[in-house]
Structure 1
């Protein structure tokens, strides 16, 4: 690490260990005269109010964040001296993949260079999901800890991260790991430029290194609810002259769930044109639909054909909402079990915002419910059950935090997904008792019994037992309230 390098560093800290963060700042003498960008009054309370800046003042409250606006606002709003500390909690409110974090790394690097001051990004580990942590390896030149400032060998400058060839990225990281190899990078550049592009793309590219990326604009894929795809910030338009939008969207979804292995042409033909006649006719229609999909995605290489198989070819660093949703649900449950209710509320809130509805809910039923290829419904049901559990787990956190109204709202949202859910009905009944609404508790129990009866099932033993316990405890409480002697005021 050169002493002239801008300091664009990350700090990963546990909010339960306040001493760690201060020790890291003191290790390099940056605990004095710092300015802090945050919406949290409890974060580093020693920083004076005059040196605290809100997220909305520097454009870190948008979704997605505009990096150029954030850079301009920071330059205009930050105090004129002292290290810049940025609370990365804004990521929780703007979960749209890791693109925002990669863009932030570029902003932090440029800001550190322009101001000539360290820019430190503070990551609360309880709020940082796996894909964000991986992206942090790309975004920051250094990591800061109580042991000091450490160079990050996985950091890449913007010009390499966004469009650099693999050999350039590997050479840069090798020189960063072992400075002696820097000359090899210079010596090999001419030969690399001569040979680049000569090797045919017979094999799929190797998986990217931690935090590495490249290629064209990344795809942002929203599968939960209506299928939406953004390339950069441009939404994909499925309706084009000569295209059949429903089939084009379905082809994208089908190839997406097929992953790296892709889908056989016969499978696709049977899904989209089951009554189309001959195999040659299906192949001709498939060829046309693939061409329309490539046009919609803006790249002839967006769909790759290998023999009889087709697969999507998203740029490295592309994002899909399902991955973030699953990570948020797991992290929220872990926080709840460990008693970190405030963090669990934030993480669960982000997960609720991300779940827009059933998987591919706007695709035609005849494609989703194909008799020959059950490619969507099992995954849709599994994610729906995850969303259901998310809601009543969220209700538990709210109830334990004294947020009864919010807890009931989440139970009602869960019951809208599945009126027979034991977990959601149980939590709703507990909430009504806690609110003193016994009539509502009895009504909830009747609604549950009616819902399971309509399914041809019977009330579960667990709900029966809970209902008896709640009814008995409510009766005891009511009796005790009646027998309590009244206080008579003295004349």
Structure 2
């Protein structure tokens, strides 16, 4: 099973999924909090103006002081042969040699959502299953919407991947992708529909019915509602009596 492709070990690696981590020459580098946030923000945006960067990272101080803090943080950045950030008079950008896991995840997810239907001629992009949330322990205002955007993108891509794999005769991988979506958001009906669809594609009707009822009970307990008619229609007619219990 394929995960995300790994860049050469000599390339700087910036990990933002699950935790913050910077690797230089395959070794982790310790950074202060300001340096972590600077790298994370530029890593997410790719390119950003100095004023936006300073105002975002130091929102509660005057602009000139914020720009001073930015200069100090840049000066304290670790040095490496490839460089981490490219600076111009007005803006900053992540160096092309830096691998950022968020970009890899986003490109993989968008490739599943908008790419060609056929996946049989190449390994399935199961790296979507890995990585965790974006900087889960950070509560900065600028992190929260980015985290939710990435979470929704991953969920939609996992469900789309599950449907493609099921149609192409790979129900086991389809089920794995669907269950990964359920683990991320247990109350998301479309994720549970993908699980049932994968079971049905493999001919496991009982498993499909069992999962439907488990989700139905969960919805009743947590939200006091029923699954949608669209979901109910996925259950074979011979099992409709069970759905009324």
TM-score where L is the length of structure 1: 0.40
2:154 is matched with 387
In structure 2, relative to structure 1, the CA distance for the partners of 1:409 and 1:94 (3 Å cut) is closer
2:37 maps to which residue? 250
Match of 1:290 in 2: 74
Distance 1:442 1:333, change over 3 A: same
1:185-264, aligned counterparts within 5 Å?
219-231=12-24, 233-239=25-31, 245-258=32-45, 259-262=47-50, 263-264=52-53
Alignment-derived partner of residue 321 in structure 1: 101
Aligned to 1:415: 182
- Residue 268 (str. 1) matches residue 61 (str. 2): no
Shift of 1:393: 2.5
Q: Is the 8 A contact 1:221 1:229 kept in 2?
A: yes
The 8 Å contact of residues 219 and 314 in structure 1, kept in 2 or not, is answered as: no
* Structure 2 Cα separation of the partners of residues 285 and 260 of structure 1: 16
Partner Cα distance (1:301, 1:416) in 2: 34
Partner of 2:204: 436
Contact 2:84–2:95 (8 Å) recurs in 1 = no
**Structure 1 residue 413: Cα displacement:** 1.1
1:139-164 C-alpha deviation (Å, 9 max, x unpaired): xxxxxxxxxxxxxxxxxxxxxxxxxx
2:42 and 2:233 map into 1 onto residues whose CA distance is 51
Q: Could you tell me how far 1:317 is from its partner in structure 2?
A: 4.4
Aligned mates of 1:421, 1:352 — CA distance in 2: 17
Query: Displacement, 1:342?
Result: 0.9
**Runs of 5+ consecutive residues of structure 2 not aligned to the other structure:** none
SS in structure 2 of the partner of residue 229 of structure 1? strand
Within 2, Cα distance between the matches of 1:470 and 1:301?
53
Q: Is the 8 A contact 2:209 2:239 kept in 1?
A: no
2-structure distance, mates of 1:95, 1:227: 19
Cα distance change on mapping 1:453 and 1:466 into 2, 3 Å: closer
- Per the alignment, residue 153 of structure 1 pairs with none
Of 91, 111, 136, 1:331 maps to 111
Distance in 1 (alpha carbons) for counterparts of 2:53 and 2:138: 21
Aligned residues: 237
| C-alpha separation in 2, matches of 1:382 and 1:459 | 27
- For each residue in 1:308-328, what CA deviation from the matched residue of structure 2 results, as whole angstroms up to 9, or x when unmatched? x6x545444444333333333
In structure 2, distance between residues paired with 1:382 and 1:447: 28
How many Å separate the matches in 1 of 2:23 and 2:70? 24
Deviation at 1:399, TM superposition (A): 2.5
1:17-96 correspondence to structure 2 within 5 Å: 95-96=5-6
In structure 2, C-alpha distance between the alignment counterparts of 1:278 and 1:329, rounded to whole Å: 39
Q: Would the alpha carbon gap of residues 331 and 269 (structure 1) be closer, same or farther in structure 2, given more than 3 Å must change? A: closer
| Counterpart selection for 1:466 from 219, 231, 234 | 231
Question: What 5-or-longer segments of structure 1 have no aligned partner?
Answer: 1-91, 101-216, 240-244, 477-491
Q: 2:130 matched to 1:342?
A: no
CA contact (8 A) 1:398 1:406 kept: yes
Contact 1:328/1:347 (CA < 8 Å) preserved in 2? no
Q: CA deviation at 1:415?
A: 0.3
Q: Secondary structure at the match of 2:19?
A: coil
Establish whether residue 352 from structure 1 lines up as the match of residue 132 from structure 2.
no
Cα shift at 1:383: 1.6
Deviations 1:426-460 (A, max 9, x none): 1222334454342x434433443455456647445
Shift of 1:384: 1.2
Q: Deviations over 1:247-290 (max 9, x none)?
A: 321222123335242435343222xxx5xx88887666555433
Q: 1:383-441 deviations in whole A, cap 9, x for unaligned?
A: 21222222223322333344333332222211000112222211222334454342x43
User: Could you say which residue in structure 2 is the equivalent of 1:56?
Assistant: none
Higher RCO (Cα < 8 Å, 6 or more apart): 2
* Distance across 2 between alignment mates of 1:453 and 1:296: 56
Pair member with larger Rg: 1
1:94 and 1:279 map into 2 onto residues whose CA distance is: 40
Relative distance call for 1:452 and 1:289 in structure 2 (3 A) is farther
